[in-house]
Amino acid sequence: MRLLVTGATGFIGRTLVLRALADDAVEEIIAPIRSPDKLRAQLAREGATGMRKLRMIKAAAPAWNLRDLGSVDRVVHCAGVLFGRSRDEYFRVNVDGTLDLLGQLGDAPEVLVLSSQSAGGPTPEGHQAKKLNHPDRPISWYGESKLQMERAVRAAGHQRVRFLRAPMVLGPGDQATLPLFRMVRGKIWTKPGRALKHFSWVSSDDLADAIEVWFERGGGLDVAHVTSPGTITDAELMLTAGQVSGKKGRLLPVPQFLLKPVAFASKFIPAIGENVPSLTADRAREIWPNRWVLDADPFHQATGWRGQATLEDTLARTLAWFQREKLV
Ligand SMILES: NC(=O)c1ccc[n+]([C@@H]2O[C@H](COP(=O)([O-])OP(=O)(O)OC[C@H]3O[C@@H](n4cnc5c(N)ncnc54)[C@H](OP(=O)(O)O)[C@@H]3O)[C@@H](O)[C@H]2O)c1
């Protein structure tokens, strides 16, 4: 099988490339990336073997300019902007970049596009979980761009394309959880707002398994929520990060209005913003709602697959990764 993975230098793309390198069913991995040196260095640190079947192509969204690819069997499109500086940046990469990529690949390969829970927005009031047939109400530019991407791909009539609406993804290599592990080394652990926030989540291993299952068993779904077992709260996330780090601290709820100035500062004061990409004013809007829980039953029913990961094991392995990288 010839597999094409975009975003291979990112958290999820790299997880998929590492698995594909170790998978005998994959003969060639094609990785269009902005920096082949970056991916080479990352894979070397992971101790990856089987590099001879990896073909790196220097390319970037929104104009991928992929040539002489030959036939490709499967595509997992992970490249995307998660923390952009402007609405335009999200739309250029996430919408135009996806349309351009699919246009160049044609309808021959089976394609799975990483969309996001943000495309649908938070769980609607009065419901335990957001279902796929609830109206989509994104509340960030990021979410709007992911929803627009799904709609534009369908409108363009592309065949054999699936959208995976992932919730928060956790696992080794996820830079977004670094601030969490750094915070639990101190005594005061701040959480936004007094009310508990409830989330679906998925470990990167469960996500990679689900992607494979979806390709294998199809299930007739063209869009799905995929989760690991259980719903977690923001407090549980912090307490578990503290527990696996062997640290104890005090949870301090911070009034949400105080977070807003920080979010704006991170956008407009570049020296802060460069270091705090996860708290741009746009993505900060996703902090306010208290429920981001997804209904993953349709995927379970269609494929028979269920996630296996536990939060404790996932965070322990994430911490081990940060320790190996000397980041904590
Ligand atoms: N992580 C999550 O919790 C989560 C949850 C739901 C959905 N998703 C979706 O899953 C996908 C992967 O997320 P991730 O966590 O792996 O993100 P990530 O770690 O930030 O990686 C993003 C990847 O996209 C690449 N990229 C960004 N802009 C690009 C451009 N203009 N041209 C080519 N490549 C570009 C990056 O390349 P460089 O290394 O060159 O910057 C990197 O390889 C995204 O589409 C995201 O929306 C993620």
Mean pLDDT of the chain: 91
Q: Assess whether the C-beta atom of 78 lies below 6 angstroms from ligand 1.
A: yes
What are the pLDDT digits (tens) for 206-223? 999 999 999 998 778 999
What are the pLDDT digits (tens) for 117-157? 999 999 999 999 999 999 999 999 999 999 999 999 999 99
Beta pairing class for 232-233 and 198-199: antiparallel
Give 3's strand partners: 29, 74
CA-nearest residue for atom 33, ligand 1, is 60
What are the pLDDT digits (tens) for 286-315? 888 999 999 999 999 999 999 999 999 999
Provide the CATH topology of domain 2-170+202-228+293-308.
Rossmann fold (3.40.50)
Q: What is the dihedral of CA 89, 222, 130, 304, to 10 degrees?
A: -130
**CA dist., res. 155 & res. 242, Å (int):** 46
CA of 99 to the centre of ligand 1 (A): 16
Q: For residue 290, how many C-alpha atoms fall within 13 Å in the half-sphere facing its CB?
A: 10
**CA dist., res. 72 & res. 101, Å (int):** 13
Residue 166, pLDDT > 60, answer: yes
pLDDT at 213: 96
- Judge contact between 108 and 51, C-beta under 8 A: no
CA of 10 to the centre of ligand 1 (A): 5
Q: Assess whether the C-beta atom of 166 lies below 6 angstroms from ligand 1.
A: yes
